[in-house]
Structure 1
Amino acid sequence: MFLFIIKYFGFLKHVPGLPHVFDGLLRLYTLLFNFHLLEAIDEIEAELITWENVTTSLHKYGGLQFNYNGKELGHIHSNGLLDMPFSRSKKQQLMQQDKRVKDHHTFINSGWISVYMSSPADIVLAIALFKISYQKLRDRDLCLTQ
C-alpha cells in the first residue's frame, strides 16, 4: 500500500501537513496490525538519543528523523521503512553485505537506501547503519575542529 501511495500520489507530499497526516495514519495502522514494529522504532530511538549530539525531529515527508548536529542521519516512517543517505559507493557496499538493504524507494539512482524493517532482528541492522552514518559525520566534524 505504501509504495502504491508514493508512486501514484507522491505529488501530494508537497501539500503542507499532508505527509504528517499520512504518516499518522500509517502509525495507527501499524499500532493495530504490527505493534512490535512500533516497539522496534522506539527501541532504535532510545538507543540513538543516547549518542552525543543526536536529536530527533519530524521528517518533512513524515516519520521520525535522527540528526547529528542538525544534519540528517536518516529517518524511519511509521510503517518501519528506514531511509538513510550514504555515498553511492557505500550504498553499493551495504547492499552487497546485507540483502535487507535496498535501493531507496523513490531515489533509486542516488546514495539513499531503504530498509523495510519487519522483525526484531532488523533493530540491530538499523542501529548498525545509523552508527556508520554517525561515525562518518562525527569524524568529519573532528577533522574540521582540529
Structure 2
Amino acid sequence: MTASIDRIISRVSRWPGVETAPHRFGGTEFVVAGREIAHVHDAGVVDLALTRRVRDVLLTDGLADPHHVLPDSAWVTYRVRSGADVPDAMRLLRLAYLWRLLAVRRRGIDPDPEADPDTDLRRLGLPADLDALVRETFRDSLDRRAPV
C-alpha cells in the first residue's frame, strides 16, 4: 500500500498552498492556509476534514465511510486497497482542497490564484447533490469575476 500512498502524497504536495507535515497519529497530513484538510496513513487510510453537510452527502452517495475513529464527526475515511483506488482518493482530496480554497478566498486569502475551482469541480464529476452543495455554499467565490 505504501506505493499508492506515496503517489498520493507526491501529487497532493505539489498543489499550490499545500504544506505537508507528519501527522500526530502517523502518516502525512496536508495543510492549506493553516488548517489540515486531510491526512494519509501508510496502511491505505485517507482521512478527510470537510463539513457535516459534505460528509453526509459523501456517506449517502457511498463515496466515503464514516471516520474510522470518530464516526460522528465531520471527518470521513476513504480506504485505498489497491492502485485502482488512487483516482477516487485523489478526487476526494481535490474536493477537500477546493472546499478549503474557496473558504479562505472568502477571507481574502488565495493560496492558489491560478486555480479555477469551477473548472475543477466540473472535472471532478461529482454527483449532482454534492456539486450543488459546493456551488450553493461558494456561489460568489466560484464566479471568477467576483472579487476575492
User: Taking structure 2 as the reference length, what is the TM-score of the superposition?
Assistant: 0.69
Deviation at 1:71, TM superposition (A): 1.1
C-alpha root-mean-square deviation of aligned residues, in Å? Answer: 1.3
The residue number in structure 1 matching 2:31 is: 67
Query: 2: CA distance between counterparts of 1:50 and 1:77?
Result: 18
The residue number in structure 2 matching 1:6 is: none
Matched, 1:138 2:120: no
Consecutive unaligned residues in structure 1, runs of 5 or more: 1-36
Query: 1: CA distance between counterparts of 2:13 and 2:27?
Result: 16
Consecutive unaligned residues in structure 2, runs of 5 or more: 109-147
Query: 2: CA distance between counterparts of 1:43 and 1:105?
Result: 22
1:77-122 residue CA offsets vs partner (Å, 9 max, x unmatched): 12111111111121111122235x1111111111111112101121
User: Taking structure 1 as the reference length, what is the TM-score of the superposition?
Assistant: 0.70
| Amino acid of the structure 1 residue aligned with 2:48 | M
Query: 2: CA distance between counterparts of 1:106 and 1:42?
Result: 23
1:82-101 to structure 2, matched below 5 A, reads 82-99=46-63, 101=64
Query: 2: CA distance between counterparts of 1:112 and 1:140?
Result: 17
- Percent identity over paired residues: 26
1:1-146 to structure 2, matched below 5 A, reads 37-99=1-63, 101-145=64-108, 146=148
| Amino acid of the structure 2 residue aligned with 1:119 | S
Higher helix residue share: 1
